[in-house]
Amino acid sequence: MSKKRLGLRQIKLLFVKLVLSLFLISIAWVLLYRWVAPPATLHMVKRRAEASTADKSNPEIAYKFVRLEEMSEQLPLAVVASEDQLFLQHNGFDVDAIMDAFKRNQKGGNIRGGSTISQQVAKNVFLWHGRSYLRKGVEAYFTMLIEVLWGKQRIMEVYLNIAEMGDGVFGVEAASQKYFNKPAKNVGRQQAALLAAVLPNPIKYSAKNPSGYTQRRRTRIARAMGRLGGTTYIKSILPENSEK
């Protein structure tokens, strides 16, 4: 065997080992977060750095992870109604929404996403923010992993804890304490709908001082929550011992 062929073989072997190592690391990472709360996300770190640059006296990020049973059932219902009404049915991807977003983006104007809650969790927990085919491909991979290894209940629990709901305010517990002076467990339908209403752009929209647009969006979300059938609609992902 020539030295050239031997060198190519070694390169291929190293590549296979690298891919296998990355695969095993990704599995271990996802399994770890199946039971352990993410200490932070890359987006949180980025937001803290931005806050530190803009205002050195207040660089902290508000984030407190709580279990799903420590949240009002109105909260998962609100984000399903506003962000992903097929969350319980799909396997991580809403093909129709993705195709619709693609067609809209082809026409120009504001970029629209077709991401499901599962895709948003994969992106926010494991990846960086940005728009590229590479990131979308890795996002799809992690979306499939969490759908298989976590299940819907854990995906929803993590989503409600790491979603930004205000400038540097992450998760429903921090948001509920900041805006309503109460724990997430005691949030009602209208308050849950308000938190969901700011999710598309938590820097532009405020739950503390909601604009007319945000209030109208809250009303639409609250109505959608009712049309879905209330918390009965998400019964399959609620903790067995949660209070009704």
In angstroms, rounded to a whole number, what is the distance separating the alpha carbons of residues 116 and 112? 13
* Residue type for position 171: G
Helix or strand holding residue 97 (H, E)? helix 95-106
Residue 131 pLDDT level (bands cut at 50, 70, 90) = confident
244 part of a folded domain: no
Region of residue 13 (left: phi > 0; alpha: psi -120 to 50; beta: else): alpha
* Residue type for position 179: Y
**Longest Cα pair distance anywhere in the chain, in angstroms?**
74
Is pTM beyond 0.85? Reply is yes
- pLDDT beyond 50 at 130: yes
Q: Are strands 169-170 and 164-166 parallel, antiparallel or unpaired?
A: antiparallel
Indicate if 28 and 133 belong to the same structural domain.
Answer: no
161 part of a folded domain: yes
- At residue 51, the pLDDT reads 67
Q: What domain range includes position 163?
A: 38-237
In angstroms, rounded to a whole number, what is the distance separating the alpha carbons of residues 85 and 79? 8
Indicate if 30 and 106 belong to the same structural domain.
Answer: no
Indicate if 128 and 158 belong to the same structural domain.
Answer: yes
- pLDDT beyond 80 at 210: yes
53 part of a folded domain: yes
Residue 96 pLDDT level (bands cut at 50, 70, 90) = confident
Q: What is the mean pLDDT of residues 92-112?
A: 68
In angstroms, rounded to a whole number, what is the distance separating the alpha carbons of residues 68 and 110? 34
In angstroms, rounded to a whole number, what is the distance separating the alpha carbons of residues 189 and 222? 7
Tell how far CA 31 is from the center of its chain.
17
Indicate if 63 and 10 belong to the same structural domain.
Answer: no
Q: Could you tell me if 194 and 218 are in contact, meaning their C-beta atoms sit under 8 angstroms apart?
A: yes
243 part of a folded domain: no
Indicate if 7 and 98 belong to the same structural domain.
Answer: no
Indicate if 32 and 42 belong to the same structural domain.
Answer: no
Q: What is the mean pLDDT of residues 186-190?
A: 97
How many domains are contained in the chain? 2
Indicate if 16 and 113 belong to the same structural domain.
Answer: no
Indicate if 142 and 216 belong to the same structural domain.
Answer: yes
Indicate if 149 and 196 belong to the same structural domain.
Answer: yes
DSSP-based three-state secondary structure for 15: helix
The CATH code of the domain that includes 78 is 1.10.3810.10
94 part of a folded domain: yes
